[in-house]
Amino acid sequence: MDTANLGILAGIIISLSTFALIFSVFYLYKREKMAMIERGMDPRIYKQQSAPYQTLKWGLLLMGSGLGLFIAFVLDHKVFTDDGHVAPIYFSMIGLFGGLGLLASFLVEKKQTLDKE
């Protein structure tokens, strides 16, 4: 198969799969709401439930990941000056500091819930 034909085929497949994904998400969402209505439940109630610490969790996760990426960059350019394979440093620092951010989020949430009681 020619390279140009592969590009056209890939474009068609990507477009069709994107359309199928979006269609199936909306279809299943509407079907779930209809099933709730059939059972006598109010679907608007479940939309109003919120997680109060969700923003804190995402913020600390992204801040930790960014800090890990920055420290990996500094280590790459200052400590490991040879042109070796340092890609695992980036992934490990992002994972490590992202996990520390999630741990900090857990500790803050735990402290707030214990203070309420």
The pLDDT value given to residue 81: 74
The pLDDT value given to residue 61: 93
Spacing of C-alpha 91 from chain mean position: 16
The pLDDT value given to residue 41: 87
Rg of the chain in Å (alpha carbons)? 23
Q: Are 68 and 101 in contact (CB under 8 A)?
A: no
So where are the chain's domains?
A: 3-45, 51-116
Reported pTM: 0.56
pLDDT mean for each 10 residues of the chain (117 residues): 84 96 94 91 72 87 94 87 79 93 92 85
The pLDDT value given to residue 115: 86
